[in-house]
Structure 1
Amino acid sequence: MAGAASTIAIAHDYLTQQGGAERVVLALSRAFPEAPIYTTLYDPATTFPEFGDRQVVTSPLNRLAFLRRDHRAALPLLAPASNAVRIDADVVIASSSGWAHGFRSTGRTLVYCHNPARWLYQTDQYLGDAGRLSPKRFAVTALGPALRRWDRRAAHRADRYLANSNVVRERIAAAYGIEADVVPPPPGLGTGGEQSAHRELTDWQDRRFWLVVSRLMPYKNVDVVLDAFRDRPDDRLVIVGAGPERERLVQMLPPNARIVSGVSDAELRWIYAHAAGLIAPSHEDFGLTPLEANSWGLPVVALRAGGYLDTVVEGRSGLFFEEVQPAAVSRALDAASAHAWHQEVLKAHAQEFGEGRFAARIRQEVERLLDGPAAPGP
């Protein structure tokens, strides 16, 4: 039976960046403040500073500084490193999009899946326009068969799977043959904290700008939004994010667009407070940013795909565009600018995905594993 002596641990693939998955780990850590966090790689300088207040346990890979700077370089090593992680706890909550579900535990494992490994099951989308002879494509192609076998074995060791969206639920079923319930994550950024003006944007605070908050990866489609704004000289665009696409995107910036990276939460709150709305152009597994924007009373213009189908209600919290084309983005922006949005409705929509509801559901799942009989294999 569950009791005060039950031990809980949290696992995550790697803590080397600031994204939606890392915000979910922070929410899990607030729900279980005594739980240590296990991960393969941890770089306090590049992830959220709140992790510095938690007990973070890393794999031996973390001794290699260059892997902390670029976790993709660790691809050949991450499966054996994940196998080597041993967690002594009654329940491990594994926040996973590829590795943490493979950590070994003495107790039960509850997987909160952001997506089955994108590089294994959505390879072309993950690689973008990487050439046939690119090192990244070569590595994924060469390692793919063995990693898929490892990944499926790891998935079937888990006692319970949860998906962050309906599209991820479908992907879990396709990749693993496992039925997962959907538990949406909460918006990651609260509106009540400190705001700090971003030094690269203070000259733009006189007029509201459209906003993209995204990792700068090929499948995020940020270049399409830039092309849309190239033909909208009277509008402004701010892109918040970092990633391997940054240099290429900087080279193609039109005069009415800027990219800012290394943004603190206080600066991001200031940016949201000065935005006109959010553009969400990628094929996301869930996508926290539309809910973050709605919590600030901002409408969303989103691609009609993926996790946005779970979080954007057309006409109430945002509008959709149908294809990843500059003209489609621009038409949706025109429609959003002409639409009568109501801040109280936008904020109420975001509150339906509150952190309290998320934490209560995860606690319920943990109690279920502690109290119930051993789960049968999928």
Structure 2
Amino acid sequence: MAGGERVALAHDYATQRGGAERVALVMAQAFPDAPLYTTLYHPRGTFPEFGPLDVRTSPLDRVGLLRRHHRLALPLLAPAVRATPIEADVVLASSTGWAHGFPTSGRKVVYCHAPARWLYQTDRYLGPAGGAQRWLAARALGLLAPGLRRWDRRAAGTADRYLANSTVTARAIRETYGIEAEILPPPPAMLPAGEETAPDGVEPGFLLCVARLLPYKNVDVVVEAVRRMPGTRLVVVGDGPERASLAQRVRDLPRVRLVGRVDDARLRWLYRHCAALVAASYEDYGLSPLEAAAFGRPSVVLRDGGYLDTVRDGVTGELFDAPDPDLVAEAAGRALDRTWDPRVLTAHADEFAAGRFVARLHAIAREELAHAAGTRPRLETVPTERRPR
């Protein structure tokens, strides 16, 4: 294609440190010559590995406030995506709600982490009712959601192929868009090989929770579970809107440490020296248990969603039935009382190795490039709904 790329990558926004961003980086490693298109890029807010990449941003990226606080950009992201056409034979889009809408002159493959939670799981995404901030967010989404749902479904319809990260995501894609998606689980990105640095004041033997601090992650439930477990310590890695309320909650609980964002060397140390990972969140893919397993550590997780694909009850971890502190404490107690075989855990993580993921992406790209070679290039556009008044 004259003036275009063979393969290009797309991602919603590179402004935070989460599982979707780690998968986008694996995709970038798989296609090192491909540019990465995104709406917003905040180098200090996301993983440093984005730095060497050819990151190409939307016009919205000129607004510094939005780079630092991408949630404020929600009414503007659909127009920003529409204003960022990608000239390429094949686009691989890593999407949780926006990147699948980038217009392209070639074939489009969407790797879906989940259909947009704020559109289809609004109550779960916002958390329990109460408080002015939650009310304002719910009000804003109530005004914007109808138009964004229409845009979102049309954007999904511009894809030539859909990939899902888990069984539950494939089911959500089918129910939301009427599209059958191939399940391609991503690999654990945080692996034992690499530098390790002990965080100040943390001794081995703690429970570990790695999560962005959002309502649906239910980190407060994990904290309250530890409150019911005398002598048990908890380290929480992550940042987000719930940080202040969690800090208030643990003021009288010195056994809980909120360490915020940490670099990879400290995260490796935390995985290696924890007693178990604990997660009570509603996840479409359970990435952190695979990372814990790679270090030979078990997980205590909610019996829901993507965790059902990545944790084997009684083999690589303990499951609990609801995000309830008593149930979490009971399951964590079982995990701490057991002796786990690290070889079983690391072998489980190896089943999700990066080589398998990358090989399948390469095969899909070859298939789509072959198809693109036999079709006339076009530039698809996804109309943007006007913001309701």
**What TM-score, normalized by structure 2, do the two folds share?**
0.92
Cα deviation code 1:292-348 (max 9, x no counterpart): 000000000110000000000112111100111111001101111222310000000
State the Cα distance separating 1:262 from its structure 2 match.
2.3
Where do 1:1-378 residues align within 5 Å? Answer: 7-131=6-130, 134-199=135-200, 203-205=201-203, 207-253=204-250, 254-372=253-371
Mapped partners of 1:143, 1:238: distance in 2: 37
Cα deviation code 1:96-122 (max 9, x no counterpart): 000000001111000000000101111
Secondary structure class of the residue paired with 2:40: coil
State the Cα distance separating 1:364 from its structure 2 match.
1.0
- Assess if the C-alpha contact under 8 Å between 2:5 and 2:87 holds in 1: no
- Assess if the C-alpha contact under 8 Å between 1:273 and 1:296 holds in 2: yes
In the alignment, residue 190 of structure 2 is paired with which amino acid?
Answer: L
Secondary structure class of the residue paired with 2:8: strand
Mapped partners of 2:105, 2:28: distance in 1: 20
In the alignment, residue 370 of structure 1 is paired with which amino acid?
Answer: L
In the alignment, residue 204 of structure 1 is paired with which amino acid?
Answer: V
In the alignment, residue 113 of structure 1 is paired with which amino acid?
Answer: C
Secondary structure class of the residue paired with 1:212: strand
**What TM-score, normalized by structure 1, do the two folds share?**
0.95
Q: What are the ranges of 5 or more consecutive residues in structure 1 without an aligned counterpart?
A: none
Which shows bigger deviation, 349-358 or 271-280?
271-280
Mapped partners of 1:42, 1:351: distance in 2: 32
State the Cα distance separating 1:131 from its structure 2 match.
4.1
- Assess if the C-alpha contact under 8 Å between 1:111 and 1:161 holds in 2: yes
Mapped partners of 1:59, 1:131: distance in 2: 35
Mapped partners of 1:208, 1:132: distance in 2: 36
- Assess if the C-alpha contact under 8 Å between 1:132 and 1:138 holds in 2: no
Mapped partners of 2:300, 2:230: distance in 1: 19
In the alignment, residue 191 of structure 1 is paired with which amino acid?
Answer: P
Secondary structure class of the residue paired with 2:45: coil
- Assess if the C-alpha contact under 8 Å between 1:130 and 1:136 holds in 2: no
- Assess if the C-alpha contact under 8 Å between 2:215 and 2:242 holds in 1: yes
Mapped partners of 1:164, 1:69: distance in 2: 27
State the Cα distance separating 1:63 from its structure 2 match.
0.8
State the Cα distance separating 1:371 from its structure 2 match.
1.9
Mapped partners of 1:89, 1:266: distance in 2: 36
- Assess if the C-alpha contact under 8 Å between 2:107 and 2:159 holds in 1: yes
Cα deviation code 1:10-69 (max 9, x no counterpart): 000000000100000110011000000000000001100011111000001111111011
In the alignment, residue 353 of structure 1 is paired with which amino acid?
Answer: F
In the alignment, residue 145 of structure 1 is paired with which amino acid?
Answer: P
Cα deviation code 1:215-247 (max 9, x no counterpart): 000000110111111121211000000000000
Secondary structure class of the residue paired with 1:370: helix
Secondary structure class of the residue paired with 1:105: coil
Mapped partners of 1:31, 1:190: distance in 2: 17
Pick closer, same or farther for the CA change 1:6–1:138 going to 2, 3 Å. closer
What percent of counterpart residues are identical? Answer: 55
Mapped partners of 1:363, 1:294: distance in 2: 26
Q: What are the ranges of 5 or more consecutive residues in structure 2 without an aligned counterpart?
A: 376-389
State the Cα distance separating 1:204 from its structure 2 match.
2.9
Secondary structure class of the residue paired with 1:235: coil
Q: Which structure exhibits the higher relative contact order, with contacts defined as CA atoms closer than 8 Å and separated by 6 or more residues? A: 2
State the Cα distance separating 1:130 from its structure 2 match.
4.6
Pick closer, same or farther for the CA change 1:34–1:128 going to 2, 3 Å. same
Secondary structure class of the residue paired with 2:51: helix
Mapped partners of 1:135, 1:183: distance in 2: 37
Mapped partners of 1:150, 1:131: distance in 2: 30
Cα deviation code 1:142-162 (max 9, x no counterpart): 000000000000000000000
- Assess if the C-alpha contact under 8 Å between 1:217 and 1:244 holds in 2: yes
Mapped partners of 1:347, 1:232: distance in 2: 28
Mapped partners of 1:105, 1:238: distance in 2: 43
- Assess if the C-alpha contact under 8 Å between 1:222 and 1:281 holds in 2: yes
Aligned residues: 368
In the alignment, residue 137 of structure 1 is paired with which amino acid?
Answer: A
- How much is the aligned-residue C-alpha RMSD, in angstroms? 1.6
- Assess if the C-alpha contact under 8 Å between 1:131 and 1:137 holds in 2: no
